[in-house]
Structures are given as C-alpha cells and as structure tokens.
Structure 1
Amino acid sequence: MLTQPEYRASRCTRYRYRYSACSRCADACPHEALELNDEGVTIRTAACQNCALCAAACPTEALLADNLPRIEVLKRAVKQPEVRFACAPSELQGDEIVPCLGALDAAMLAYLASRGIAVTLAGTQHCAECPHGARGEGRLGLHLEAVETLRRVVGNDKWADISVPDEREAELVKTGHNPSRRHLFRRFVGRGADQLTRPVSASEAQPIPLKAIRFAAPFSTAGRELLQILFNTPQELPVPLPSHAALLAAQVAIRPGCTACEACARACPTGAMQIRESGTAWSLGFEFTRCVGCGVCVEVCQPHVLYFKDEMENLAKAAEAMTLHALGKQRCTRCDRFFISPAPADICPICEGDDQDFASLFG
C-alpha cells in the first residue's frame, strides 16, 4: 500500500498565519494531491503518489516523507567515498533508492559534495515517462543550480563532483530549471520593492487580527542546519551568497516605518525573528542561522517594511541576533505604564483605546 507524507500543521506557514499565500508544496507536486486552505494543507490520498517532492520544497519541513529519511540516508552516505542515488521508478540499481531525484534537496547534495563524497544521480533518462518527471526534473535542475552557487561561494577544491549520467545532462541543468520559478523569494521581495514602492505609514497600517496568527513553539530544520555547517567556513567568503529558491535561507532587512506590532515575530515558525525587551528598551532582532526563507514575516508585515535581501552576507554564526529596529520605552502620563510607540506619545495604546471607547459610547 502506497503511503503519503506526514503533515505537521504547527510547522506550516499557512497554519501559523492563516492569510499566507505560500504554495511551494503544491507547486512542486506533479499529481495535484495537495489542497491549500487557511488551516494549512490537506493531502488527497487518492492522488498522492508519495514522490516526496512536496517535502523537499517545504522550507519549514511541514511535510515529512517516510520513504526519504534524509538524516538516515546521510548517515549511511558519509561512510562511503561515493554514493549512487537512483530513482525508484527507473528501477535502476543504486546505493540509495529514492522516490524521485528531485526530492534530493540542495542542502543534502551540497553537504555530501563538501565532504568529498562523489554523488551520482541515476535515472534522469526516464523522466519523460515518469509520472513524477513533469516536476521532478525541474526540481532537480533547480537543486543542482543551487549546489553550484554554494560551491562557487563557500566551496573549495575538496568538494567532490555531482554527476548525472545522461546524454541530456547539460540540457537538464540548462533547461530543467524554470526561470519563472528562479526565486520563490521574488513574491515577497517584489511585494516589498516593486508592487509597494512606498511603505505604508504607521497610521495607515492595519493591525493583524490575533486570530490570524496561531502560536506554536519555534523549531529548527535539518536542512537549515546542514546549510549552516556549509556556511561556517574558516575563510572569509570572497563574495556574498545570492538568494536562491532552493537555498532555504534568507537575510531579512527592514525599511523605515515599523509599527512595532510584533506580528512578524509571532508568526515566524523558527524563531529567526525575535523580540528583545528590557525595562526601558524594545528591539526587533533577526537571527540568520535560524531563518529558512519561508517569507511569512514579510507577508504578515502590514506596513510592508520587511523584505528579503538579494544577497546573503555574514553567513557564519553570529554571537547574537542582528537588531533590525529598536525603540526606547515611554511612560504613560495617565496610567504610569511603560509602552512602546513608533512615535512620541503621552498616553499608552490602552488608555487611548479607553478614550475611544468612552467617546463612542457617550459622544
């Protein structure tokens, strides 16, 4: 009996923020087996063929494919000088049989290559006949492109080769990648840079309803930890690392106009966006080592001041989170509470709300 990926709702950005437009898993699925809704994702059992492409595309690892246990596969692979992956539909022999070569994500492939383990990917010649091939071949091309980006920026001469034994190898790397999907980040970058050329002011921004964000404990992902191992290189990087759809990491930046609503930190699934507070100060921090590039912080930001940078710098683990925005606390002249506000104010939002309620009732 064919199994299906396990869905972990608390990790899904569509569950964490009910208005999220993330569709990475559905875009990667060649069988239209995923239904997206405000509650997250529903898997249509009758349509799912468990190719694991959705699991590889999800930056938060909300989908977990039991037929491709990445950590177990890596533990076996690192004990060998070379490893041959073969896709199950091709029925070819390999050290590891995977449901689809496109489900081998860039972090996994780059990690093996960085340890000097030669990787062979067998079965691409069957993509045209494979039911997964319509999306699997494109995903593989995307991942190989990301690996080459990593090799160029953070690699060295000890990296081993990744070979695709197929007469169409060059064509796969060149055309298997759809330029329109080059940056899944572009939906969020474009929203901040192109479509919204003017950040919304504090007075225009509408607060996110509390029910729109579901709280759950932050978590880390195996893919992001593998990337951070590659990023922690002893030498200084010659150039910044370009953002890439298959590199599940990003650097968040901010423009003026933050309203200190804290929605980004509440929606962030990995704890990359952080609120730090003392008796007299408040700040919004960003920890690169935890960011998986899911983009929910950019989506939830009502002033539209958060955005992804086109390049990632300072990749090594920092001592503390980067401060994106900081405010000093003010004291309310009416109730004597400390509060934060993007602009100087005499009374706190609670007292201001009380005044508005009183005016609406009594005029």
Structure 2
Amino acid sequence: MPSIDDLVTVAEAFEKSPVYIDRDRCVAVRNRNASCRRCVDSCPCDAIEVMNNEINLDVRACSACGACTTVCPTGALVPLRPSDDDLFDACMRAMEASAGRAVIACARIASRREADPSLYAEVPCMARVDESILMKLASEGAREIVLVDGDCATCRYRATDEGTNITCGAFQQLVQAQGADVPIARASTFPEDMLIEDATGLFGTTRRDFFSETARSAREMVSTAAKATLEHELGGKKEISIGARLRAGENGALPTFEIRRHADIINAMDALGHSVVDEVVARVFATVDIDVGKCNGCGMCAVFCPTGAIKRDERKKPYTNPEYLEFWASECIQCNLCQDVCWKKCLKVSPVVPTEQLFSFDPVVFDLRSAKSAPKPFSLGPS
C-alpha cells in the first residue's frame, strides 16, 4: 500500500510537472553500468540528468513535449499531461466522430482554432505520441491516422521532429508485419473537411484552465486516498534507501514489473491478425543471444532484468550457477541492461525479433551446463 509520502509526491507531480518519475523502473537506477540514456538524448532542453543511480528532471527547464516518455523503454517516465489513458480516450472520441480517421494535433497548430475540436485529439507536442497509442488505434479499427503538427522547422523544440518520424516508421512496420493496412501521415494543416469558419462556442476550457483543473482533481484524489491510508500507516517512517527498495527477492533477482505499453503493442498486433513476416525490427522488442561457451553462469543478466524476460533455472536453490537461462522475447523491452551487466561480454541484444518468438508461449532456452564455474555471489543490491 502506498505511503503518505508516495501520495503527496504524486500530487506534487500533477501540480508541478508534466512527467512523473518512477525511479525504481529506470535501468540506470537499478545498475549504474546501464548504458541507456534515451531520455537524456531525446530531451530538446537538457532537462533530464541521469547519474549515480539517480534520474532527475528539472521542471523549470522541461518543455512538456513528452519525448522522454515516448523513448523510455521501462515506463520510468510517466506522462501526465495528458496521461496515456486520457490521450487514447480523446483519440477514440475523435476517431468515432470522424468515421474511423484518427487525427492528433500539436498544441501549436490547435491554438489556431481552425478545425472542429471534436474531430481531433491534442498533445503538447507530437513527440508525446508513441507506438502503443497508434497500435491501439489501429486495432480499434482506425482506417487512417493523421498527425498534424504544423511546421516543425520553425518550432522552438524542433529537435523532437526526427523522433516523431521514427515513431511513425516503427508503427508502419508493426502494422505491416501483421498484414494490415493502416496508413499514417504527417501534415502541416488539418484535412479540409475538418476546417471551420466560426469557432464561437466550440472551444470551452482553455488549455491552461484544463491543466489547472487536472491538478486540482489530482490533489483531491490523493488527499482522499491519503486519509483512507492514514490508519494503516505507522508513521515516522524514514526514507527507504535504493538498496532496500531494490533488494533481490527469494529467487535471487531484483523486482520485476510489466511494461503496460509493451503489452498493449503485442495485444494490438495480435488483434490485427497473424504475422505475415518472419521477423520485425523495432525499438520496443529485442532478442538476446548468449555464447554459452564463454558464459560462466553468473546469472547477472537475470538478476537485473527489469521485466523478467531472462530468468535463471529456478529449480536450483540457491539461485547461483544455473544450468539453464530462459528468455521470452515477448517480455524483452530492449533496455540492453542484460548486455551492460554481462561480465564475460558473451550476451548480445538484437532489435531483430523473429515473430514466432514474439508470440510463442515457450521461451528460448540456453543450456549452461558446459559453462565455466561462476564466481561466488556477491551482494545483489543495485550497483
């Protein structure tokens, strides 16, 4: 059950920041050897800092573009304005009003009030749109998707433009892999049939008012939850250290979690039909290959994997020197942490994923019985 501090943190996040940071999901927090810095690389205003098992966001510098939340493989950066659920609901309403055409517009072009607001969903920046939103729209029957974001060449945060192109390309590949045809296009103006001459009465609450109302609602929700939780709290708790929060469990691995966006994409692909290609290449999936001749069976890849895509042979206790490693492509998020922590550098992550593995209920098994003897285990807390 969340503590009062947790609830207050969420309330403050809604009030002050467009992004909530779930630090324990960040691979760079789980292990300082993690190479992932996608959020830092995608941020157009240098608002994110990752170092010393910490990730921090400078709210004053943040432009609320959402680019960091789109590229984060683990969901450590959670978008709040809008949330994934709110954005998808808005897209669905607009799509239903447009007979299957899903239109998303950036705040800059939406502010011109040239089109009927009931026919499109609005985002602060098109960088906020990720593959999971697009794939869910496709699985819900979208006949086409149009992203209207004006002229990025003159936008202050135009550095996010290429990321949007990558998202569109990834979406097209995933849809086509399932034999579906859902065209996606970027445009600098709204489709002509959406344009209006008189916007009087069509636009209600301003964006600023909307965000203020969202913050107020969040504070009220958290306040209510805090009161309900108070009687269950002992009070006077000290801040829990990272080592205590991310301590290895009985199976010898750090806590794992499901990536909702990742699951949404796989479910959407399955809803679109059977795969018509042998493999896909995407930033949201990956496979691993282990040179069992070099592997010493230390199992660190399984210890630090955030989703449990790699598991050690759990028949042996204690969970050291496993005889087997099991890998599920459907759980892999291409965070590359397993490759980063591999002592022997015998594990490689590849974005090329056989579709047979992606939808298989059976894992890929690596037989380590011929592996060299593993070193003695050490503390399995974050390094």
Same fold (TM over 0.5): yes
- Return the match for 1:301 from 342, 352, 365: 342
Structure 1 residues 319 and 123, CA gap change in structure 2 (3 angstroms) = closer
1:39-59 deviation line (CA, Å, top 9, x unaligned): 231112221122111011100
Match runs of 1:46-125 below 5 Å: 46-78=60-92, 80=96, 81-90=100-109, 91-92=111-112, 93=115, 94=117, 95-117=120-142, 118-125=144-151
CA displacement 1:231-281 (0-9 Å, x = unmatched): 43686533333323xx31111121231111111111111111111232597
**Cα distance per residue 1:153-178 (max 9 Å; x no partner):** 2232xx432232238xxxxxxxxxxx
Alpha-carbon distance in 1 for matches of 2:346, 2:366? 11
Kindly indicate whether the alpha-carbon contact (under 8 Å) linking 2:313 and 2:324 is maintained by their aligned counterparts in 1. yes
Residue aligning to 2:217: none
Figure out how many residues of one structure are paired with residues of the other and give that number: 287
Pairing partner for 2:277 from 233, 239, 258: 239
State the SS of the aligned residue for 1:128. Answer: helix
| Offset at residue 102 of structure 1 (A) | 1.7
Mapped partners of 1:11, 1:263: distance in 2: 17
- 1-side partners of 2:47 and 2:344: how far apart? 35
Relative to its length, the structure with more helix (as a share) is 2
Q: Secondary structure at the match of 2:154?
A: coil
> Residue by residue, what CA displacement relative to the aligned partner does 1:129-180 show, whole Å, maximum 9, x if unpaired?
3222222x11111111111211322232xx432232238xxxxxxxxxxxxx
Paired residue for 2:178, among 150, 154, 163? 154
Alpha-carbon contact 2:178-2:269 (below 8 Å) kept: yes
Asked if 1 retains the 8 angstrom alpha-carbon contact of 2:247 and 2:255, the reply is no
Map of 1:324 onto structure 2: 366
Aligned counterpart in structure 1 of residue 287 of structure 2, from 232, 239, 251: 251
Q: Secondary structure at the match of 1:277?
A: coil
Partner Cα distance (2:84, 2:90) in 1:
10
* 2:299 alignment partner in structure 1: 262
- Aligned partners of 2:290, 2:132: CA distance in 1, in Å? 27
Counterparts in 2 of 1:241 and 1:71: CA distance versus 1, 3 Å: farther
1:177 corresponds to which residue? none
Q: What root-mean-square deviation, in Å, do the aligned CA atoms of Structure 1 and Structure 2 show?
A: 2.9
8 Å CA contact retained: 1:28, 1:53: yes
2:58 to 33, 44, 57: 44
Q: Distance in 2 between matches of 1:32 and 1:3?
A: 15
> Partner of 1:333 in structure 2?
none
- Cα distance in 1 for partners of 2:48, 2:272 equals 42
Distance across 1 between alignment mates of 2:288 and 2:375: 28
Structure 2 residues without counterparts, runs of 5 or longer = 1-14, 190-242, 249-253, 379-383
Higher relative contact order (CA 8 A, sep 6+): 2
Residue type of the alignment partner of 1:77: C
Give the TM-score normalised by the residue count of structure 1: 0.71
Taking the aligned partners of 2:268 and 2:50, their CA distance within structure 1 comes to 33
Residue 103 of structure 1: how far off its partner (Å): 1.7
Q: Distance in 2 between the 1:262 and 1:20 partners?
A: 16
Q: Is the 8 A contact 1:83 1:120 kept in 2?
A: yes
Q: Could you tell me how far apart the structure 1 residues matched to 2:21 and 2:278 are?
A: 34
Q: Report the residue type matching 2:104 in the other structure.
A: F
Which of structure 1's runs of 4+ aligned residues deviate more than 4 A? 213-216, 233-236
- How far, CA to CA, are the matches of 1:231 and 1:82 in structure 2? 19
CA distance in 2, matches of 1:151, 1:232: 10
How far apart are the structure 2 equivalents of 1:51 and 1:349?
A: 46
- Percent identity (aligned): 24
Structure 1 alignment gaps of length 5 or more: 168-209, 328-340, 354-363
Contact 2:139 2:269 in 1 (8 A): no
Assess if the C-alpha contact under 8 Å between 2:295 and 2:368 holds in 1: no
Distance 1:259 1:164 in 2: 49
* Counterpart for residue 196 of structure 1: none
Code of the aligned partner of 1:123: D
Question: Measured at CA, do residues 161 and 349 of structure 1 come closer, stay the same or move farther in structure 2, by a change above 3 Å?
Answer: closer
Specify the SS of the correspondent of 2:313. strand
- TM-score, length of structure 2 as denominator length: 0.67
Distance 1:23 1:96, change over 3 A: same
Q: Are positions 1:143 and 2:167 aligned together? A: yes
Partner amino acid for 1:149?
Q
* CA displacement at 1:229 relative to structure 2: 1.3
